[in-house]
Structure 1
């Protein structure tokens, strides 16, 4: 089976490492950074340097593929449209010419739910992103879902905040100790460990999942409790909150993971690893 990973960064590279161990899978990876080619050659049989809006480049990548994992990331807040939407549009334009592709798996974000004041949301909730980046992610989902058919199964995984090896929580929040943050810290943090992202993608592949699935852990901690626990663990100055200042966080919701669990996926790390 041939699998193409479009955007072989933190997540894509980890998935490639797993899939490379399966002798029946042949991995093709893409990157926009030529310097990453030697690293990716260790986890993929073929590596292409191309961008998401390069139609001919992507077409060369997709030839004879059976499955596509779209796991891109924006290198800056102003590059979301180029990284996500333009890549999805180019990919969908090419798909009719590549009938061998039977499944497309996309790693999106729960941020598309927007600010729900901490209320529960699930895959049936009408999404309402609160900022421009969320709207671009919403548009990306719509483009990909429109390509779904009896011959092409499109699976969207809405991920929580990503952490794991070399992206530990303390590394993510390294500038936070002793600072004062806007709001009251009661907004909900939805996280997912890299192991479960890899596990969830592999589960989606094996089970031929189609449709939208939230992929977050079971913790549902407030940001305040998360940071209090993290600072205490490393004996660092606690975070203070300024309730008179409005939080600048554009999403706040408890994201249900019941759908993917009911499908049979068992979380490797149901609780946050501090």
Structure 2
């Protein structure tokens, strides 16, 4: 029975990928590609078909689990932590010989860079300011070329901060880690993991979907406001405040890179063309639901 179902390969089956696999497995034959053997074994025990390939060290003879009825490849694996190109994705694409009907790539809204609090949409030119974002721009272009040459429908989901069950900053709040003052905090964006999974599913099943989509809840608030909200709902003290000048001296470079970018990300195309209406447009509702699970 299962052999008659179309096949979907999820590359990078972690926080998002496992939830997507659970959502798809009743209708598709799903295979998860992970990096380590122990992770593959853990997913196998959950009843998910898995394969372990370290895309940083691809061995001779390695191959992907592909079928002629390849419905989709959903690529969720992060780029390497250094460089300006995603060599991990490049190695994966060299292993993919059977073109799927669609290729879904999860990118980041960080490719837009700093808009000084202004609104960006999919027509806004990318202006990456960090190597992390440049690697994503490189990956988007890599998938564009690969899919164009093979006539594969390509969907890029540009995603901001992801939150959900077991993905709230509770430990930071318990440790009383400081945040920048509200007047210094820029505008950021986020998406609940359940709504991101719905967007991935729509990217596979909406045959008209192609190109780039911003996937956000449409509620742009600062990271300080979000942390304050989490603290209030979780019954924790609000985090202490520091000025941006103090933050420059004590925060990590990676954390500062997020704070130094401010933008409001439009999700109109996601709503109107991809056909995804987020369940958690209000962060308060999303936080409460995350704490209950």
Same-fold call, TM > 0.5?
Answer: yes
Instruction: Identify the residue that residue 12 of structure 1 maps to in structure 2.
Output: 17
What is the CA–CA distance in structure 2 between the aligned matches of 1:126 and 1:120, rounded to whole Å? 12
What is the CA–CA distance in structure 1 between the aligned matches of 2:62 and 2:103, rounded to whole Å? 14
Query: Structure 2 matches for 1:120-269, cutoff 5 A?
Result: 120-149=119-148, 151-171=151-171, 173-174=172-173, 177=176, 179=178, 181=180, 184-208=183-207, 209-233=209-233, 234-245=235-246, 248=256, 249-263=259-273, 264-269=275-280
Instruction: Identify the residue that residue 271 of structure 1 maps to in structure 2.
Output: 282
Q: Do the aligned partners of 1:107 and 1:156 also contact (CA within 8 Å) in 2?
A: yes
Higher strand share: 1
Q: Do the aligned partners of 1:16 and 1:44 also contact (CA within 8 Å) in 2?
A: no
RMSD: 2.6
Q: 1:186-215 CA deviation, whole Å, 9 max, x = no partner?
A: 311211011011100001111032110000
Instruction: Identify the residue that residue 79 of structure 1 maps to in structure 2.
Output: 81
Q: Do the aligned partners of 1:26 and 1:45 also contact (CA within 8 Å) in 2?
A: no
Unmatched runs of 5 consecutive residues or more in structure 1: none
Q: Do the aligned partners of 2:40 and 2:50 also contact (CA within 8 Å) in 1?
A: yes
Shift of 1:31: 0.9
Q: Do the aligned partners of 1:13 and 1:43 also contact (CA within 8 Å) in 2?
A: no
What is the CA–CA distance in structure 2 between the aligned matches of 1:221 and 1:119, rounded to whole Å? 12
**Residues 237 and 45 from structure 1, CA distance in 2 versus in 1: closer, same or farther, beyond 3 angstroms?**
closer
Unmatched runs of 5 consecutive residues or more in structure 2: 1-5, 249-255, 288-293
**Residues 137 and 250 from structure 1, CA distance in 2 versus in 1: closer, same or farther, beyond 3 angstroms?**
farther
Shift of 1:134: 0.9
What is the CA–CA distance in structure 2 between the aligned matches of 1:134 and 1:257, rounded to whole Å? 20
Alignment partner of 1:61: what SS?
Answer: coil
What is the CA–CA distance in structure 1 between the aligned matches of 2:280 and 2:263, rounded to whole Å? 20
Residue of structure 1 aligned with 2:43, choices 28, 40, 43: 40
Q: 1:209-262 CA deviation, whole Å, 9 max, x = no partner?
A: 211000011221122322232333323143313143576224321011000101
Q: 1:123-179 CA deviation, whole Å, 9 max, x = no partner?
A: 1110111111111111111111122337301111011101111112435x4466362
TM-score by length of 2: 0.81
What is the CA–CA distance in structure 1 between the aligned matches of 2:146 and 2:213, rounded to whole Å? 17
Q: Do the aligned partners of 1:7 and 1:29 also contact (CA within 8 Å) in 2?
A: yes
Q: Do the aligned partners of 2:228 and 2:238 also contact (CA within 8 Å) in 1?
A: no
TM-score by length of 1: 0.86
Alignment partner of 1:35: what SS?
Answer: helix
Runs of 4+ displaced beyond 6 Å: none
What is the CA–CA distance in structure 2 between the aligned matches of 1:161 and 1:188, rounded to whole Å? 12
What is the CA–CA distance in structure 2 between the aligned matches of 1:72 and 1:81, rounded to whole Å? 16
User: Are 1:59 and 2:67 an aligned pair?
Assistant: no
Shift of 1:86: 1.6
